[in-house]
Chain A
Amino acid sequence: MTAPDLAAPVGGWRVWRLGADDDGPVLESPLAAATWPARAALTAVCHRGCGDAPAWGCGCGLYALDHPHRLATDMLWRTGILGCTALWGRVVEHEEGWRGEHSYPLVLFLLSPDEVLRRVAGGSLAVASARRAVIGAARARRMTGLGETLVGALQRRYGVPVHVLPASSPAAFAEREVGALAGRVRDESVLGLPARRLGDRVATARLDRVVDRLLEGLRPDLPPLPA
């Protein structure tokens, strides 16, 4: 038994694809057949037989990047869901990110909720049921905007904050000011986690504030942020 290196999870950026099960929308990996269960950790195992996933010389594990600008812009556009995830357990640190044993989202951003839903609706069973689940939730709550309902449905299911990204934003993550704001979101999503879990509203508001700053920074129609 060795002492842990860290007593707080590692936080990193990654993308998800929208899927659905009988209870509504779910987060799926665009890289492998993996679904993040709501309110339960996702745990990695290696199909190549590594005993301890993620293994050093293998590609197994749950991925996250240190900065969202490292995500290929087309990948973000294709998947539509960006966010910070907590990684814990055995974690292999890389030059630009991590592979973890366990993962759970900390904060999510939908590129364009209506668009994400439309895209899933490519005729597949999953998309059809995602749409059904979201429409059902919308009717139950007397809401009209599908996208708005998707945000609410993900938030309720996973119990984490969900925000909408300005449509023109993926490339903007490469800008220095926006990069710094994204870094603050990642840091706060991890540092404030214990307090938020205990219901500390100040900690929740702190995360909301840094998210608001990031969203402002991503709006091309607003004047540039002060240095």
Chain B
Amino acid sequence: MYLGEPVRVLHVEPVVSPVPDGDFPDVAAALPDPRPRPTPGRDAAPLPERRRRQTRGRRPRSTPVAGA
């Protein structure tokens, strides 16, 4: 694959990882649960359950390779 001459070196640090996390491709990434609001009296809302196991997804593993 010919790329032409090199022009410059960039240091690229994506804010959001390009690698999908977790084992559930059809499920959206989990956002942090909303903090429960203090509610007066005994009708206070129960704490939300933790959403999905996806939040504990495996850390990406990297495979070294040259010129691919």
Contact = CB atoms under 8 A, between A and B. Distances in A.
A60 B25 CA distance: 31
Given A32-B66, A65-B3, A91 B18 contact: no
13 contacts: A4-B11, A7-B13, A40-B19, A42-B68, A44-B65, A45-B66, A46-B66, A59-B67, A60-B67, A89-B12, A95-B5, A158-B20, A198-B29
Given A9-B18, A93-B9, A96-B3, A45 B64 contact: yes
B12 A10 contact: yes
B10 A93 contact: yes
Nearest to A58: B67
Contacts of B58: 39-40
Given A89-B12, A90-B12, 20 more contacts: A6-B14, A7-B13, A8-B15, A9-B14, A39-B58, A40-B19, A42-B68, A43-B64, A60-B67, A71-B1, A75-B1, A86-B14, A88-B12, A93-B6, A96-B3, A96-B4, A155-B25, A158-B20, A193-B14, A194-B16
Nearest to B30: A199
Interface size range of chain B in the complex = 35 or more
B47 interface: no
What is the predominant secondary structure among interface residues of chain B facing chain A? loop
Interface stretch (A99-107, A139-147, A215-223): A99-107
A178 interface: no
Interface residues of A, number: 70
A92 interface: yes
B23 to A, nearest CB: 8
Interface string B25-41: 11111010000000000
B62 A102 contact: yes
Contacts of B29: 197-199
A224 interface: no
A34 interface: yes
Interface string B50-68: 0000000010111111111
A88 B13 CA distance: 6
Interface in A92-135: 92-100, 102, 104, 106
A198 B28 contact: yes
Contact of B3 (A6, A10, A39, A97): A97
